[in-house]
């Protein structure tokens, strides 16, 4: 990071006021009469209604358009365990994205504990305040336990975006890339470098969409997770492969797909050359990918490459998913974001990339032309159609799978405002 960019980032966060989010009023508060309605004595009336029927909170408060972004700071970006307070800029940033892309009010909450039980209790005790909870930057394997237990204890969607947001966007791009390469997910041999939260969620979702367990080779810091290997935790056990492959070089040879969620420069040119014809490479380590795009394209001209960076084509960016997924979930008062809703988001995102790109998106991205192909397998984050495609697909899946509290709204068109 250059000194100029570093200073620009610090200036952005510090001025003209510190931070990235604020609170706005939705009701008039200018007169004595306004204040009598806003607070005592008028506020007693909605309190009574909610006490009689908790669902009335969606009518009389902002609960239905409010998401909490919650972290303990144990896995902040690629920076590691910085602690809860140092995670606050990231959580404020996530709140900014919720508002900017889906009109969802969001607040950040940093919980100062690394103890999973304490974290779970804290979040569960405040959950009813919100319409949904976005968990963020919590290290594995605790993140799996935390999300699962909160899902059992809470009646609102609990969504760990590092897992599922990454998985949804990755799966959408993967389906499109494989199609362009003339391959099918059901047949693809997939090497996944990384065995943390994002990697496990990505492989789980690909399995849900048709990938075959025996075709997935997952690697952690000790190499391939193979049958009989000692010291493999419960979550990695899901991806044990009965194989004699041990190293990344072994696992990537002949593979159709490489998914990297690990660290910089770990996929060599020779490894890339050893992959199958027309390979798909998702090198998503940030800020530095597992192989530099310039190197990858210099050694193979038949590959499709995606990274997590905005300065290269095919950016795998979670903002393509979570704002719109929550918009759809909130608008039907979903109690969870389940597998059906995730798959619906994948399909909507995948299909949108196949459509002509509006001039406004080209202009915003500084592009003269974008069309479905090796350099455009997934939509751009600034595409306004993301809201109108993903949110309804997610809302419909919530209704159809039985986790919504209200029917699918007649004539539903998601907006940047609160649900009615």
Cα(19)–Cα(360) distance, rounded to whole angstroms? 29
Sheet holding 132-135, edge to edge: 105-110, 66-71, 132-135, 158-160
Alpha-carbon span 159 to 415, nearest angstrom: 21
372-375 long-range contacts (CB < 8 A, ≥24 apart) are: 372/176, 372/180, 373/180, 374/177, 374/180, 374/304, 375/313, 375/314
Distances (CA, A) of 341 to 173, 381, 393: 17, 20, 8
Q: Which two tokens stand for residue 242?
A: 């009965």
39 catalytic residue (yes or no) = yes
Q: Are 162 and 199 in contact (CB under 8 A)?
A: no
Set 20, 63, 88, 94: catalytic member: 94
Q: Is there a catalytic annotation at residue 245?
A: no
Where residue 77 falls (left for φ over 0; alpha for ψ -120 to 50; beta otherwise) is: left
Q: Which of 257, 222, 214 is nearest to 239 (CA)?
A: 214
Separation between Cα atoms, residue 281 and residue 168, nearest integer Å = 16
Catalytic residues: 39, 94
């Amino acid at each position: 990071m250059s000194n100029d960019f570093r200073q620009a980032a610090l200036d952005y966060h510090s001025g003209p006021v510190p931070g990235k989010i604020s609170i706005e009023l939705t009701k008039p508060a200018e007169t004595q009469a306004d204040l009598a309605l806003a607070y005592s004595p008028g506020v007693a009336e909605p309190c009574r209604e909610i006490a009689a029927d908790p669902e009335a909170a969606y009518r009389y408060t902002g609960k239905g358009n409010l998401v909490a972004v919650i972290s303990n700071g144990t896995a902040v970006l690629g920076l590691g365990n910085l602690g809860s307070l140092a995670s606050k800029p990231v959580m404020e940033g996530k709140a900014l994205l919720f508002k900017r892309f889906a009109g969802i009010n969001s607040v950040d909450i940093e919980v100062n504990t690394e103890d999973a039980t304490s974290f779970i209790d804290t979040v569960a005790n405040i959950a009813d305040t919100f319409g949904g909870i976005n968990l963020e930057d919590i290290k594995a394997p605790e993140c799996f336990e935390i999300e699962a237990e909160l899902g059992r204890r809470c009646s609102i969607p609990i969504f760990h975006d590092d897992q599922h947001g990454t998985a949804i966007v990755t799966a959408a791009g993967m389906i499109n890339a494989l199609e362009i390469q003339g391959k099918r997910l059901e047949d693809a041999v997939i090497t996944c470098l990384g065995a943390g939260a994002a990697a496990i969620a990505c492989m789980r979702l690909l399995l849900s969409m048709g990938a075959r367990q025996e075709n997935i080779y997952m690697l952690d810091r000790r190499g391939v997770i193979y049958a009989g290997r000692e010291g493999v935790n419960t979550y990695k056990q899901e991806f044990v492969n009965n194989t004699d492959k041990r190293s990344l070089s072994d696992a990537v040879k002949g593979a159709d797909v490489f998914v990297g969620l690990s660290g910089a420069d770990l996929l060599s040119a020779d490894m890339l050359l050893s992959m199958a014809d027309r390979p798909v490479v998702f090198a998503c380590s940030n800020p530095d990918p597992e192989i530099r795009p310039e190197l990858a394209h210099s050694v193979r001209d038949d590959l499709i490459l995606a990274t997590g960076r905005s300065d290269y084509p095919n950016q795998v960016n979670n903002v393509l998913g979570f704002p719109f997924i929550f918009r759809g979930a909130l608008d039907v008062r979903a109690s969870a974001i389940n597998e059906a809703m995730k798959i619906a988001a994948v399909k909507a995102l995948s299909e949108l990339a196949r459509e002509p790109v509006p001039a406004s998106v080209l202009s915003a991205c500084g592009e003269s032309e974008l069309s479905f192909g090796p350099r455009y397998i997934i939509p751009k984050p600034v595409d306004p159609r993301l809201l109108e495609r993903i949110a309804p697909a997610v809302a419909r899946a919530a209704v159809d799978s039985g986790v919504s509290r209200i029917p699918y709204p007649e004539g539903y068109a998601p907006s940047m405002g609160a649900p009615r």
